[in-house]
Structure 1
Amino acid sequence: MPGNRDAMFRGRAGERELVDGVLDAGTGVVLVDGAAGTGKTRLLAEVAAGAARRGVEVVTARDELDQPFLLARLAERGPGGPALVVLDDLHLAEPATLAALRELLPASAHAKVVWLLARRGGEGADRLFAAAVQRGALRIELGPLPDDVVADLVTDLAGAVPDDDLRALASTARGVPAELAALFQALRADDHLVVAAGQASLRTDRTPRHTEALLRGRISALSGVARHLLQVAAVLGPRFDPGDVAEVLASSTAVLLPALDEVIAAGVVTSLDDRLAFRHELLWRLVADAVPPPVRCALHREVGEMLLRRGDSAVVAAEHLLHGAQRGAARSIDGLVAAAKALLWTAPDAAAELAGRALELTDQASPSLADRTVVAVRALVAAGDLTAAQACARDALTRQVAPAPAAELRHCLAATTLLRGQHAESVEISESLLGEPDLPPELVPWVEIIRMTALLGHDRDRAQELAEDVVRTRTGSPDDVRATALAVLAAIARDTGQPGAALELARAAARSAASHDLSAYPPLLLATVLSGLREFADADSVVRRVRGGASAVVARRITTTAVQARISLQAGRIEEAAAEARSAVAVAEETGHTALLAPGLAVLAMVAVHTGDLPAALGHVERCREHVPVDGLVFSRAYYQWIDVLVSYVGHGTGKALALLGDEYPGLVSSGLFAEEPRAAGWFVRRALEAGDERLAEAVVAHAERLTAENPGLRALATAALHARGLARGDASSLELAARQHQDPWARANAAEDLGALLAAGPDRAAPVRALETALELYREIGASRDSARVLGRLRKLGRRRRAEPARPESGWAGLDDTERAIVNLVAKGQTNRQISAQLFMSPHTVNFHLRKIFRKLGISSRVELAARPPGDR
């Protein structure tokens, strides 16, 4: 390993300069004080070597036993040339030696002799040093090295610039050179240092036994009171309030001050804002592990109960109670439950763990069992563990349960059945609850929300009737029940071809939403309506607001990810769409959210169609067919039907695709599909013309124009109608105008391709080639490889050959697109995936997807290598 392993002589330039001044004068006494390891001996050796190079005679004792003999020789020495007498470790010298020195120093005041005397400060030779100072001796006190010097020294010892973790570990040496050298010697013995891309870091895949032994020795050297204090502090955590330590020890901070000073001086603990902290996690772990498990458990319990008693955060208290609570300890268990409630929305996994532990510790005969079960089931629902939530609720309901908690448990069952797509059962449970006269008032709104949402997937006529009644009777301030009713009406308006009304209702629903719900349905429905009408900026903004909220409920996360996936797809960000959709499907499958599988599968099917992966498209649609009957909430059923028709066309041809319109989806063309996916209008006209079905083509055009007439001001609908009419009539000017006016890259590319295909029938070759090349560039920009290949085939028929490869290189810096370059720059600034996702308005999963592509293109394998690339390469 390169670098200075033995600790370069750094940071003592000022002291060297002072000693050199005395040497230049040719006579004098220099006294060096310093704690062990501060470099006294090294300073003396450097000064002696420098003096010898200048021709000065250097006289020194081999050790403290040689000191009296050296002094005897010096007493007999006659006048001579300049000399430097170096005596180290005078704190170990015998009294007679020190007395002889006191006699010799003034006697040699006029000789050409410089005395360089060193001792460990405060441990001896006090009279000698005091007398020398009185006679004008120069006194130098060696303290810890300053931070900038330590940084340079650590870089020398490590052979590279240390990362934050290694710097923190090095800080335990308190700037003492010998301790730094010993630390790095231990790290090398453990093979615990890693140097990559100019940065040094610590291994995480092995136990650093020599380093642990070194640090354990420093801890063992502390007094018993200091070690006791550290053990309590370690139970409190890596950072702790000294007042908390004092309270646990039934003492005061003032009484503990000497011990606190000792642990800080020893480099074990440091001051951090308004708290103290262990200098490194390794130190904290060593101290914590030294506490016997039963003692540690008891301390955790005492700390947790202390925090609860004091009224501190239940969440912080629960971290301790989780380790220390015992069966039947009511106060500790109540603390776990309180923390679970506090974390229910923001950290449901942690809430489920806390509530589950509380249940484990609760006696079956406890009157609190039912209420604690309710908290556990609610946490499991929020965390996405629907199977466990249902089992826990049903098991509890087999026992004698009071009416209020029984209603809570049944409400949770209604929620889980809704999320599993069992809409009829969810409606049945909800309506049974609402029919009970003693249903707790605070539960009524939640049950109404579940019932309306389940009815939307089960009985739309009843859902509409109920939602209209809610909107009519509930007015005023934000209200989640009213928001859900407006969202239900918006979904029905969307699906029945009333996009203007859908947009107005969805906006009102989003404004009315007031609190957390299982899926953030009202604002996300607004995002789907906006995206369908090609208002991508507004749609993205809505999703960002939902993602920026505090709730981490799993159902909400799946729905948000699926909605973002389709927005990205419709906006032409096909790779991001695929990454988001895969994430939504994976979580929905893992957690049993059956009702939320179809949206992600639909997006993946569409991506597979456009990237030419027919087997994947067929597989996704086949699975989607199983789950479509339980959706119609997030996306319309017409949207899923169109994707089924589209994949059938790709896999089996026009005849099979159009047959679905008569057999399975007779109302598809007259539905609200063209408002949710405007480019579908042109697609259906295209297929109708291929099949020679003029009646179908005219029906599509008529419906698209009716939507436009009934919803003036919705530009996406008007352009879709223009596109469909241009195709049906063979009107090049309409297609050219549509290609300019479409708001999404897919539809622009489709219109340009349709224009090129129409013009190719004429004698002029330049115009169709221009149109098709425009379509090709758009498809390539999107990443639609199958569509690109189709257009390349059209161009070849016109005698125009184009490269099939992307214009951008497949590897190297030039191969990165704009998004990838932005991610590289943020990684270089040290940002995490979550921070980058907030900056670039995408999920951390999507950031990780881009990073894998970046690594592949640049031929690297880690963020460290990426961050280490020179600025000129970014």
Structure 2
Amino acid sequence: MDGRPPTRGTTFGRQRERASIDELLTRVDGPRVMLVEGEPGIGRTRLLEEAARTAADRGFAVVADTAPELRRPAALELLLSVLDEPGPQSPPAGGQDRSAERLQAALEQRARTTSLLVLLDDLQWAEPATILALRTLPIRLASSPVCWILARRTGSGGAELDRLFLQLQAAGAVLVQLRPLPGEAVSDLVTAALGARPDPDLLVLAGGAGGNPLLLLELMNGLSDEGGVVISHGHAHLVTSRMPERVRIVIQERLHELDPAARRLLEVAAMLGPAFHPLVAADLLGVTPADLLPSLEAMLATGLLTTHEDALAFRHDVVRESVITDIPDPVRQALHVQIGRTLLEHGGRVKAAAAHLMAGAVPGVPEVLPSLDRASAEMLDTHPAVAAELIRRALDLTELADPQWFARTMTAMRTLVAAGDLVEAAELAEAALDHCASGPSTAELLTALSLVLVPMGEAARASDTARAVLDMPDLPDEVRDRADLALLQADTGLPESAGVLDRAKAFVKAGDAPGQGLLAGALVVLALNGWDKGELDDALGLARMGVRQASNDGVRDCRLHPGLVLAALLVDVRLMDEARRTMVLGTGGAVGIGRDGWAAGPAIVRSRIDLAEGHPEEAIREARAALEAADAVGARLLSASARSALSVAALRSGDLETAIEHARGEEDAGGPAPPPFDLTRSELIRAQVTEACDGPQAAMTGLRRLLDDLAEHSRALICDPTAAAWLVRTAVAAGETGPAEKVVAAADRLAGMNPGLPSLAAAAEHARGLLHGEPGLLRNAAADHADRWACASAYEDLGILLGGPDGARGRTIQWFDEALSCYVAAGAERDAARIRGRLRRMGERRRHWNRRDRPASGWASLTGAEQRISGLVAQGLTNQKIADQLFISVHTVAFHLRQVFRKLDVRSRVDLARQVLEHSDDVPGARSKELDDGTDAGSPLAPRPPRPE
């Protein structure tokens, strides 16, 4: 004994088969025959042994091989010797063998005194005479108490044995096909073999045996012998997945039955994977599929393979792994390369080809590199990350002296950029510069590096890099154009960059002469500059020209797409239909934008579109997606822009915590500021969040630079239709009328310069009416605003103006109702809650909930208000912070929490948080939303109200 738990004599997962044996032994009429089929190791012999024991226990005499360990097929003479019948003393007269007749007579004689069970195994090796005799003996002895169990290996034995089994089935025999053990039986067998419960990794490895008991036992015993498992506290833990030697020996014994051609096919099939198509295997072996038929039939007969959908598959992973392990390393690597090339030739399996090429790519074998190049190119559009891995592997295996080294380096860098790995692309370029000997090569690398550095937030370094290229003598025209484009893009990301406008104008004046996207890039620079100066109509025209040019140049460099710029500008002035069309047509969709450093741009613009159209929750989702995409590729510049979009959408929806986190997060993290064409927007949003938290005085501190620059830079008043009004309101509330007057003057000037953009006129009227207290201007602004939130803001300002000491109550309520309706339509729940609070203080209640029948206790009994407060408690907010978020008093929060604790039968905030997690899908998404049960809302969000009362 080796100390292992006993498993011999025990069957696992064979309850149905044992029931068939019981039925056979108790049958009283008709043919008492059971046929058993199964692959090697599936437990056929074990089942026959159990049948013999069961029959003996029931008083049967068992007629079977007395030495099964010799692995010989049962024959008639063998059975006669078991029955103590002597063989013939001399050859039969006339050459006729009377063994069948003698066996029939002997069985009939023995059956007169006892019931018999005849067991014949491994019939696939039986002699023709035995097969012929078995076609008649069970039928002739049907009236005698003789039971038969005839067994063979699945699919083996030839046509005569097949006919025998079919004939006996037609006469009433029962066919039992031994299937692989089910999962529970596998677990039980592993537990019995090891004496401990297997861990999940061990069960996964055991699954590779395909439910074959012999392979399972050899695998478990081999792991035990070779220290592959550790048993502790009744559990078996896998410590290595290396194939045990005894498993390899068992498998090799089965493979010895194959001829050399079948063995060679098996090795190729194992390299192809768990499943393979015969056509691919034939190509690899240089033969036709018809030539493979004998070998395939032999492997199917051994049970090594099985059919799986439209392919052939290995029945057991451990067999395939063992075959692969026995192939010498150099041969295995060469086969990987050959398979990869063959799969590329077949097409449609590029990913599998890539895996084989990667496995076969080793130093000193340059012949594989062109295949890696090809696979990378073919996978770039569908699997860019895999394409990048392939080309990096090819580059790593390329000698510096190889003529293809530089071309492969540039391809690797472009592929990395397309795959969205900006950091590695930049590192690759910097490392390659140390090995570039020629000027043109260095120039090309530096240009590509400059284009990558801008979305990474390193505009100054990108500018210096591009300038270094342009200072080189004798640059090819194509390289110079791309370097000029890189410099334009870099300088657009720098404030007050000298000469960028002059260069852009020169490129536009040159018309079609510039190439490689240079003209489109120059048009974008001029459009952004015009936008900043307030020349919006001209800027839109330039941006539209840039989009048309970009659709023609076909450049795939890492660059800011003109379509994104145009769409963003259109959103600012609320030309929403054209903005949406531009996002689809002007950018070329995902293919046009690509996966490079600017790939997060579309989501940022979509977020702004959603917010402008009154869908703040969708805007938040798009902004989060943009932030995740930008962070994933290292595009820190777009991360800052995504944070701005997320912050303003969160502020609008009432999620003040998220607004604070993202308005200040990038600055606190020491990351790059947004680009100049987005910097003003970020400053404005940050000030708005500050005002919401700390009041107008605190907000004015961060607005000094923006307000001082209004005479020259109009962007602060363009990026939001309510920006001018908000700046006036904040300055007046802070007691600073001078800045408010500057804002109004700038807004009037901007509207006068662009009479074709009504959103600017509405914004100017809104600001002027707010500053001078003119109801007519506010009414006009509310009517002319194209943005629902801006319209609501103007109505609210009008209601506040008319609600003064001498105000008309009815008109005030009317304008507040208008504001409430617009805020609700815009999804601005925080602002809607503020208006309801104003109306309640005037004695007007505006309900916006639906009452419903609720149970007395449990989560379903909570009102919407109680659920929202519970959600905020789960976030860790105090009662005071919850009151601030929901515009209610802290006493109201405490009242609702008492109701919640009673209904849920909880005793602490921790217990409540646990309940919230269990019902997280049912919690209303209402951070900072007003209660839905009519509770009075009187507490302001901050120490100072956001608007003057």
The TM-score range, normalised by the shorter chain, is 0.5 to 0.7
- Give the alignment partner of residue 718 of structure 2, picking from 662, 675, 678: 675
User: Contact 1:605–1:620 (CA<8 Å) still a contact in 2?
Assistant: no
**1:732 and 1:442, CA in 2 relative to 1: closer, same or farther beyond 3 A?**
same
- Give the alignment partner of residue 859 of structure 1, picking from 918, 927, 930: 918
In 2, Cα distance between equivalents of 1:8 and 1:745:
72
Residue 227 of structure 2 corresponds to which residue in structure 1?
none
Post-superposition Cα deviations, 1:23-46, rounded to whole Å, max 9, x if no partner, equal: 99x556867474456999999999
**1:499 and 1:537, CA in 2 relative to 1: closer, same or farther beyond 3 A?**
same
1:695-710 aligned within 5 A: 697=740, 700-701=743-744, 703-704=746-747, 707=750
Q: Is it true that 1:412 corresponds to 2:481 in the alignment?
A: no
- Give the alignment partner of residue 525 of structure 1, picking from 551, 561, 565: 565
| One-letter code aligned to 1:612 | L
Residue 655 of structure 2 corresponds to which residue in structure 1?
611
Residue 643 of structure 1 corresponds to which residue in structure 2?
685
Tell me the CA shift for residue 555 of structure 1: 0.6
Tell me the CA shift for residue 518 of structure 1: 1.0
Unaligned runs of 5+ in 2: 1-10, 67-78, 85-102, 189-203, 224-235, 850-862, 872-913, 922-949
- Give the alignment partner of residue 489 of structure 2, picking from 450, 453, 467: 453
Tell me the CA shift for residue 253 of structure 1: 4.2
- Give the alignment partner of residue 221 of structure 1, picking from 229, 246, 254: 254
Q: Secondary structure at the match of 2:568?
A: helix
User: Contact 1:40–1:142 (CA<8 Å) still a contact in 2?
Assistant: no
Q: Is it true that 1:497 corresponds to 2:556 in the alignment?
A: no
| One-letter code aligned to 2:271 | V
In 2, Cα distance between equivalents of 1:574 and 1:618:
16
User: Contact 1:645–1:660 (CA<8 Å) still a contact in 2?
Assistant: yes
Q: Secondary structure at the match of 1:401?
A: coil
Q: Is it true that 1:89 corresponds to 2:148 in the alignment?
A: no
Residue 525 of structure 2 corresponds to which residue in structure 1?
488
In 2, Cα distance between equivalents of 1:244 and 1:98:
39
Unaligned runs of 5+ in 1: 50-56, 160-167, 191-202, 814-854, 863-874
Tell me the CA shift for residue 488 of structure 1: 2.6
In 2, Cα distance between equivalents of 1:127 and 1:391:
70
- Give the alignment partner of residue 727 of structure 2, picking from 663, 680, 684: 684
Residue 333 of structure 1 corresponds to which residue in structure 2?
369
Residue 797 of structure 2 corresponds to which residue in structure 1?
754
Moved more, 244-253 or 97-106: 97-106
Q: Is it true that 1:120 corresponds to 2:120 in the alignment?
A: no
User: Contact 2:209–2:317 (CA<8 Å) still a contact in 1?
Assistant: no
| One-letter code aligned to 1:683 | W
Tell me the CA shift for residue 261 of structure 1: 3.6
1:532-551 aligned within 5 A: 532-534=572-574, 539=579, 548-549=590-591
1:56-455 aligned within 5 A: 61=62, 68=83, 75-76=108-109, 87-89=118-120, 118-120=150-152, 138=171, 142=175, 221-223=254-256, 225=260, 226=262, 228-238=264-274, 240-246=276-282, 248-249=284-285, 253-264=289-300, 269=305, 276=312, 288=324, 291=327, 293-303=329-339, 319-340=355-376, 349-382=385-418, 389-390=425-426, 392-394=428-430, 396-399=432-435, 401-423=437-459, 426-427=462-463, 429-430=465-466, 433-434=469-470, 438-455=474-491
In 2, Cα distance between equivalents of 1:30 and 1:626:
81
**1:258 and 1:558, CA in 2 relative to 1: closer, same or farther beyond 3 A?**
same
In 2, Cα distance between equivalents of 1:268 and 1:521:
56
**1:748 and 1:119, CA in 2 relative to 1: closer, same or farther beyond 3 A?**
same
Identity of aligned residues (%): 31
Tell me the CA shift for residue 599 of structure 1: 1.1
**1:213 and 1:794, CA in 2 relative to 1: closer, same or farther beyond 3 A?**
farther
In 2, Cα distance between equivalents of 1:650 and 1:136:
86
User: Contact 1:752–1:774 (CA<8 Å) still a contact in 2?
Assistant: no
User: Contact 2:507–2:514 (CA<8 Å) still a contact in 1?
Assistant: no
User: Contact 1:483–1:509 (CA<8 Å) still a contact in 2?
Assistant: yes
Q: Which has the larger helix fraction?
A: 1
Tell me the CA shift for residue 522 of structure 1: 1.4
- Give the alignment partner of residue 672 of structure 2, picking from 600, 624, 627: 627
In 2, Cα distance between equivalents of 1:416 and 1:276:
47
State TM-score, norm by structure 1. Answer: 0.68
**1:788 and 1:434, CA in 2 relative to 1: closer, same or farther beyond 3 A?**
same
Residue 820 of structure 1 corresponds to which residue in structure 2?
none
Tell me the CA shift for residue 747 of structure 1: 3.0
In 1, Cα distance between equivalents of 2:644 and 2:350:
43
Tell me the CA shift for residue 320 of structure 1: 3.7
User: Contact 2:275–2:312 (CA<8 Å) still a contact in 1?
Assistant: yes
Tell me the CA shift for residue 319 of structure 1: 3.9
**1:744 and 1:63, CA in 2 relative to 1: closer, same or farther beyond 3 A?**
farther
User: Contact 2:504–2:525 (CA<8 Å) still a contact in 1?
Assistant: yes
Residue 817 of structure 2 corresponds to which residue in structure 1?
770
**1:210 and 1:454, CA in 2 relative to 1: closer, same or farther beyond 3 A?**
closer
Post-superposition Cα deviations, 1:634-672, rounded to whole Å, max 9, x if no partner, equal: x43332332344345345543454466555542337604
In 1, Cα distance between equivalents of 2:366 and 2:112:
88
Structure whose CA Rg is larger: 2
| One-letter code aligned to 2:684 | W
Moved more, 525-534 or 240-249: 240-249
In 1, Cα distance between equivalents of 2:766 and 2:624:
32
In 1, Cα distance between equivalents of 2:500 and 2:770:
39
In 2, Cα distance between equivalents of 1:360 and 1:132:
61
**1:687 and 1:232, CA in 2 relative to 1: closer, same or farther beyond 3 A?**
same
**1:144 and 1:566, CA in 2 relative to 1: closer, same or farther beyond 3 A?**
farther
User: Contact 1:561–1:583 (CA<8 Å) still a contact in 2?
Assistant: yes
Q: Is it true that 1:6 corresponds to 2:49 in the alignment?
A: no
**1:282 and 1:553, CA in 2 relative to 1: closer, same or farther beyond 3 A?**
farther
State TM-score, norm by structure 2. Answer: 0.63
In 1, Cα distance between equivalents of 2:324 and 2:132:
50
**1:436 and 1:796, CA in 2 relative to 1: closer, same or farther beyond 3 A?**
same
1:701-740 aligned within 5 A: 701=744, 703-704=746-747, 707=750, 711=754, 714=757, 716-717=759-760, 719-721=762-764, 723-724=766-767, 727-728=770-771, 730=773
In 2, Cα distance between equivalents of 1:114 and 1:347:
66
User: Contact 1:30–1:137 (CA<8 Å) still a contact in 2?
Assistant: no
User: Contact 1:688–1:694 (CA<8 Å) still a contact in 2?
Assistant: yes
In 2, Cα distance between equivalents of 1:107 and 1:591:
80
User: Contact 1:173–1:267 (CA<8 Å) still a contact in 2?
Assistant: no
In 1, Cα distance between equivalents of 2:829 and 2:244:
52
**1:115 and 1:718, CA in 2 relative to 1: closer, same or farther beyond 3 A?**
farther
User: Contact 2:567–2:605 (CA<8 Å) still a contact in 1?
Assistant: yes
Q: CA RMSD in A?
A: 6.2
User: Contact 2:36–2:151 (CA<8 Å) still a contact in 1?
Assistant: yes
- Give the alignment partner of residue 598 of structure 2, picking from 556, 560, 573: 556
| One-letter code aligned to 1:557 | A
Residue 199 of structure 1 corresponds to which residue in structure 2?
none
Q: Is it true that 1:666 corresponds to 2:708 in the alignment?
A: yes
Tell me the CA shift for residue 856 of structure 1: 9.6
Residue 197 of structure 1 corresponds to which residue in structure 2?
none
Moved more, 588-597 or 135-144: 135-144
In 1, Cα distance between equivalents of 2:410 and 2:738:
59
**1:140 and 1:210, CA in 2 relative to 1: closer, same or farther beyond 3 A?**
farther
Residue 100 of structure 2 corresponds to which residue in structure 1?
none
In 1, Cα distance between equivalents of 2:135 and 2:387:
73
In 1, Cα distance between equivalents of 2:837 and 2:175:
81
In 2, Cα distance between equivalents of 1:216 and 1:755:
90
User: Contact 1:27–1:114 (CA<8 Å) still a contact in 2?
Assistant: no
**1:460 and 1:501, CA in 2 relative to 1: closer, same or farther beyond 3 A?**
farther
User: Contact 2:599–2:630 (CA<8 Å) still a contact in 1?
Assistant: no
